[in-house]
Amino acid sequence: MIDETDPEFWPTLWANVGEATLETLYQVSVTMLLTALIGLAVGVLLVVTDRGGMLEAPFGSRAFGRGLNWVLQVVVNLGRSIPFIILMIALIPFTRWIVGTAFSVTAAIVPLAIAAIPFFARIVEIALREVPAGLMEAGSSIGATKWQLVSKVLIPEAGPALVLGLTTTAVSVVNFSAIVGVIGGGGLGDLAIRYGHQRYSTPYIIVVVVVLVVIVTLIQAAGNRMAMRMRGGGPARTR
C-alpha cells in the first residue's frame, strides 16, 4: 500500500507515468514500424499470389504460387487466432533467442510485432482487394512492371483504407502493450499492474487509463485526418 498523502506521492507518480508513457510509445512505435513494413509486404503477397493475381505463378510455377499463398494464409490465421497473452508466453524462448532476454521493454516488441503483423496483413489484403481490377488493367496496358503495379497503383489506390487499417492496428498494439506488463514488459500496463493492482493505488490506475485514452484518441484522430486528406478532403497534392 502506498501512502497517497506522502508529499512525494504525486511527483513520483508523474515521473513514473512519464517514463512508462515513453516506454509504451517506444514499444508501439517500433512495433508499428515493423508491422507496417512486414504486414504490408505479407498483405501484398496474399493478394498477388492468389488465383488470378499477378504473381499466381512466381518463377513460372503455379504450384509455388499456390503453396506460398496457402502458407501465408495459414500463418496469418494462426497469428490471428492465438490470444495475445498466450502468444506472448509461448514466444518467450523465441524472444530470448532474438533479443537476449524475454523480459524487457525492448523484448516485448517481439510478441507485439508478431501479433500485429498478421492482423495488419489481413487488413491490407482486404484493402487491396477493393482496388478495382480496371486500374490494374490500365496499368498493364501502359506497360507497367509488376513492381510498378504494386507500388504505383495497388498501394497508393488503397492508401486511405491502409492508413485507417494501420490506425486500427496501432490502437490494438497500444492495447497489447499494456498486457506485456504482465511479463515485465514495461510501459503503462506494467505501471498499472505494479502500482495500481499490486499496491492498490487507485490514482495510478486512473492516470494510466487517462493516458492510454489520450494516446488512442490521438492515434485515431491522426489516422482519420490522414485518410481524409488522401481521399481528397484536404488540399490537392501534385503527386
Site string for another protein, 157-176 (x = CB under 8 A): x-x-----------------
For another protein, the closer of residues 156 and 184 by Cβ is: 156
- Which parts of 18-37 interact with another protein (CB under 8 A)? none
Instruction: Determine, following the binding rule CB under 8 A, whether residue 152 of this chain makes contact with another protein.
Output: yes
Using CA atoms, how far apart are residues 203 and 224, in angstroms rounded to an integer? 31
- Tell me the residue type at 107: A
Exactly one of 38, 98, 99, 144 binds another protein (CB under 8 A); that residue is 144
| Closest to another protein by CB, 199 or 231 | 231
Closer residue to another protein in complex, CB, 126/144: 144
The angle subtended at Cα 197 by Cα 81 and Cα 88, nearest 5°, is 25
Per DSSP, 153 falls in state I
Residue 187, classified by CB atoms within 10 Å of its CB into exposed (0-12), middle (13-18) or buried (19+), is buried
- Of 1, 8, 143, 198, which one interacts with another protein (CB under 8 A)? 143
Q: Is residue 61 near another protein by the rule CB under 8 A?
A: no
* Residue 130 binding another protein, by CB under 8 A: no
Q: Which of residues 180-239 bind another protein (CB under 8 A)?
A: 230, 232, 236-239
CA 35 to centroid of chain Cα atoms? 5
Establish how many alpha carbons lie within 13 A of residue 52's alpha carbon, considering only the half-sphere containing its beta carbon: 4
Quickly count: other Cβ atoms within 10 Å of residue 33's Cβ. 12
Tell me whether residue 131 or residue 211 sits nearer to another protein (CB atom): 131
Indicate if the alpha-carbon torsion angle 51, 52, 54, 57 is positive or negative: positive
Q: State the residues that interact with another protein by CB under 8 A.
A: 132, 134-135, 137-145, 148, 152-153, 156-157, 159, 230, 232, 236-239
